[in-house]
Amino acid sequence: MAIQLHQPALRHARALIREGKVVRDERDDWSEAAPSPDEENAFIEREGWTEFSHWHLGVDRRENEESKGAYSFPVGDFRRVHRSGVISAESRAGQHDHYEIRDALKSLLALIDEDEKK
């Protein structure tokens, strides 16, 4: 399988959620919350490719690791994890048979929702 679960991104997202750096928005909010290409470029310029990769739960090792094409299933806005991003990515991962990524996203959603109940 070309696209794999990006473990560093999963660890990063879990840590952010545990720190409370999460937006508890609804699924349809992701279209507005997702970083634009210009915002992505500015982040890469400022923070580098490794940090950019930590916001994407999918990685395609066949692609150049210093290209946006290597990363998929974004979950945040480079500051916080968005519940809407997790839901959107989970849906897309399931539609494209990326079950390991889908299941990791389900676990993130459960962590977000569990934390909200506290």
pLDDT tens string 26-65: 888 999 999 999 999 999 999 999 999 999 999 999 999 9
User: What mean pLDDT is predicted for residues 19-29?
Assistant: 92
- Residue-level pLDDT at 28: 87
The pLDDT of residue 117 is above 70:
no
Rounded alpha-carbon distances, angstroms, from residue 25 to 3, 21, 72, 92, 118: 27, 13, 20, 18, 17
Average pLDDT value over all residues in the chain: 95
User: What mean pLDDT is predicted for residues 69-79?
Assistant: 97
**φ, ψ (nearest 5 deg) of residue 27:** -50, -50
| pTM of the entire predicted model | 0.92
Who's near 84: CB < 8 A, 6+ residues apart? 23, 25, 26, 27, 28, 29, 30, 33
